[in-house]
Amino acid sequence: MNQQNTPNTSLFSSPTSWSNDSTENEELNYKQFSVISLIAFLLGLASFLVFFTLWFTFICVLGVIFAVIGVVLIHRSEGTLTGLLFARLGLCLSTISFVGVSFFWVSYDYNLRYEADQFFNAWFKLFAQENNIENFPHIKTALSPYWERSDVENPETWWKKQYENKYLHRDIHSAADNKLLRTMLALGGDMKITFYKTLSVSISSEEERVTNIYTITFNDKNDNNTTKSFFIKINGERKTHIDNSLNQKKRLTGWALSTLPEFIAPDAVTP
């Protein structure tokens, strides 16, 4: 005689008690989803906005905080909370965004400093050449990006334009009266220029600017050939221009001096 599987109850047990047992089992097996973990996951997705602007860095920080809290709460819940996968995903996404954008901006800052130093050294070499007074158009027009230096390769044409335009003529006189430029032109190849330190770096949607300090060392022939030094501060700005000539849209990027260099006191360059 086949026996059917029946609940482990007596013949006098009521069906109501069976339903209560199944309800209790369902309640015991129920796990609540962690809202904190869901928020951490959503913050992790939103953390990629940090690659558009650093203003969203706080999203990465919040994503990591909520993810850590979610993981801790789930482990302490003794199985009553679920959503560990979402918390871990949120932690990974927020961390990847933060580390990625940090690496990007560190590399960008290094490249900006490197380009500025290359531009400054190229400008300094104009003073070291023989007959450096002939390089004065290049020295002066370094205040403008290269796409605006149309006549600089022809000094006669450049000087003529400076003379005919009273504002340009006045500007060229102010540059010629600059004590630092006159000193560097007089020293020429006798001066040794070395990088001292970067004073500031400005990176924004409107400008990219680097300010460096250099040391100029020379032998003073009028003072028993003793070695003397002084510091100069030089500001460079990377500019962008869109060229629409010949029906071709080109993005041009170049460096220019934002202001003429100036002497700087020794006490202003101490670390």
Please tell me the predicted confidence (pLDDT) of residue 268: 64
CA pair distance 191, 183, nearest whole angstrom: 10
Each residue of 202-225: pLDDT tens digit? Answer: 988 778 999 999 999 998 878 777
Please tell me the predicted confidence (pLDDT) of residue 21: 55
Please tell me the predicted confidence (pLDDT) of residue 140: 87
For 14, 34, 104, 108, 162, the CA distances from 62, given in Å and listed in that order, are: 54, 16, 21, 25, 58
Return the percent helix, strand and coil in the chain, to nearest 5: 55, 25, 20
Better-scored residue on pLDDT, 10 or 230: 230
Domain segments of the chain as ranges: 15-105, 129-268
pLDDT mean across residues, the chain: 83
